[in-house]
Amino acid sequence: MPADPVAFARDLLRCPSVTPVEGGALSYLADRLKGAGFAVERVTFSEAGTDDVENLYARIGTGGPNLVFAGHTDVVAPGDEARWTHGPFAGDIDDGVLFGRGAVDMKGAIACQLAAALDYLAANSGRPKGSISFLITGDEESIAVNGTVKLLQWAAERGEVFDHCILGEPSNHDDLGDMIKIGRRGSLNGTLIVEGKQGHVAYPNLADNPVRRIVAIMSAMMAEPLDSGSAHFDPSNLEFTSVDVGNKTVNVIPAEARARFNIRFNDVRSRDALKAEVEARAHAGAGGGRYRIDWEPSNADAFVTTPGPFVELVSDGVAEVTGRRPKLSTTGGTSDARAATPIFIVGLPRSGTTLAERILASHSTLRSAGELDCFALSLVDAVRRLTGRAQMPRRELVANSAAVDFAALGRDYMDRACLASGGSGRFIDKMPLNYLYCGLIRRALPDTKIVHLTRHPMAVCYAMYKTLFKDGYPFSYDLDEIARYFIAYRRLMAHWRSAVPGAVYDLSYEALVADQLGETRKLLQFCGLDWQDSCAQFHLNPTASTTASAVQIRRPIYESSVAQWRRYEKRLSGLRERLEAAGVEI
């Protein structure tokens, strides 16, 4: 009886294998492969500041050629499960359609690989003509440092040789079997940084405007095509995605200008050769002025499997089964889908939100959009559209917010945020009071990251009390009001943790001060970012800040503010009593 790929896929979908959790998926594969005679090894990889991740390698046969099926069983978090018509890990089949997180990417493909291998072995008395291997990781959907790359290195050190590989990545454009990816463009990210000299626009002779030079360098970098393409690739392409001078004052010449760019490149040049070409163009455009290019680490090289007998064999098989000849393609991206998701930093004012923002904004793939009121405005407009009323009591607005079109709310927020921040690419929204909407944010933007800053109750209440805020926070000028506000805030955050578990990452200000590198690594991992030394040197980031922490963020992390409230402990005794009476531990 032939193996049933639908049953395999259904069983795999029922494994809640959200990165880095194995969730039973690798165990399921191991059991079935062992039953068919495969030698199976489970390998766990580790790296400082990241979660341990388990991987699987299985092989049957000792000779060549060795065909390897590759893929991953981990999936991204499903978000609000109440929004799924079928549970993300239920593996339901409804009207001939299989539903579940990972059905397409890529548990469905792995199920087909497994069924094909078992059917082949059954037809050949359990002995392959050569070898069949499975190389399956549990670390692809997050930062992917303990997955495929390390598993391949591990296999190579053991003398494993792969002759051909079929990857389970979804590649069809319109119909099943209409496209085979035989390669992928490479991807390089960089930041062009031009240094100048700040000055007043009335005295340009005393300043050095970096905007003029960055425009010239950008023009030089884009002036000519990087190449004309190759037999299997379109021409390489360089695109600038944001330009920032960190300057909100119209009559001041900025001291620095930055522009971020991405290059999608083909197999004409190596990464190093491409960098050299771009650097040469920038040098010519700079005219002797000061600049540098910070290149992000990347292992996303261009590669191609030159069409030959194996590609023909696969194409013939697809045509025989589907009736259509697949197109051979190298189009597509390298994890493009995750690039635009915003990161929200929330919490009480003076809780460390600006520090966290500065750390993240020092990563070359992120930019800070500042403290945006876009989500609150989008939510109010969504409720107005739902009810047809322009005004309503606040309680009614809150009650009606649960019934809005959350997908439309997410789109409206993104449109407003990109317009308000004047840029593109992944950004940070550091409006502290967005903590009010954590659950709604998660429903509107299921893949977003929410970082919640926590701080010792007395420390954060005192810090708010002693600060004269430019705008907002009227509760912060009276200790009784601060106590009531803190208690309500604490209850709401407890509600969000219960209602949307795992959606909010709590980052302790005190823990960050005590272990900057360790907590920064955890923060980057949660946000799906690789480590960059610049995040540990956030105080060197020259971009402007308009918050109450604008001075502090120019210094390395210091401890003097952690227990500053204790100097005034007696005068703050009433505040402490009110908090403790509400069950707040001090």
Active site residues: 74, 140
Residue 25, classified by CB atoms within 10 Å of its CB into exposed (0-12), middle (13-18) or buried (19+), is buried
Contact 45/53 with Cβ under 8 angstroms? yes
In the 8-state DSSP scheme, what is residue 365?
A: T
Distance, in Å, from the CA atom of 551 to the CA atom of 132, rounded to the nearest integer, reads 61
Q: Which residues does residue 331 pair with via DSSP β-bridges, in sequence order?
A: none
Q: If you count them, how many residues does the chain have?
A: 586
Note the Cα 171 to chain centre separation in Å: 22
> How far apart, in whole angstroms, are the C-alpha atoms of residue 463 and residue 564?
9
Token pair for 542: 């020259």
Per DSSP, the three-state class of 187 is strand
With contact defined as beta carbons under 8 Å apart, do 452 and 356 qualify? no
Q: Which of 303, 295, 296, 231 is nearest to 265 (CA)?
A: 303
Task: Give the separation between CA 297 and CA 295, rounded to whole angstroms.
Answer: 7
Q: Are 266 and 235 in contact, with CB atoms under 8 Å apart?
A: yes
If residue 331 lies in a helix (H) or strand (E), which one and from where to where? none
E strands, 46-200, are: 53-60, 66-72, 93-94, 97-98, 131-137, 164-167, 179-181, 183-184, 186-195, 199-200
Q: Per 3-state DSSP, what percentage of the chain is helix, strand, and coil (rounded to 5)?
A: 40, 20, 40
User: Token pair of 274, please?
Assistant: 């491409």
| C-alpha–C-alpha distance, residues 189 and 500, integer Å | 34
Write out the DSSP string of 119-131: HHHHHTTT--SSE
The SS3 of residue 11 is helix
Token output for 89: 């890990």
Rounded Cα gap, residues 148 and 62, in angstroms: 22
Q: Which two tokens stand for residue 494?
A: 């407890």
Residue linked to tokens 């697809």 = 318
Instruction: Identify the three-state secondary structure at position 261.
Output: strand
Q: What is the residue type of 454?
A: T
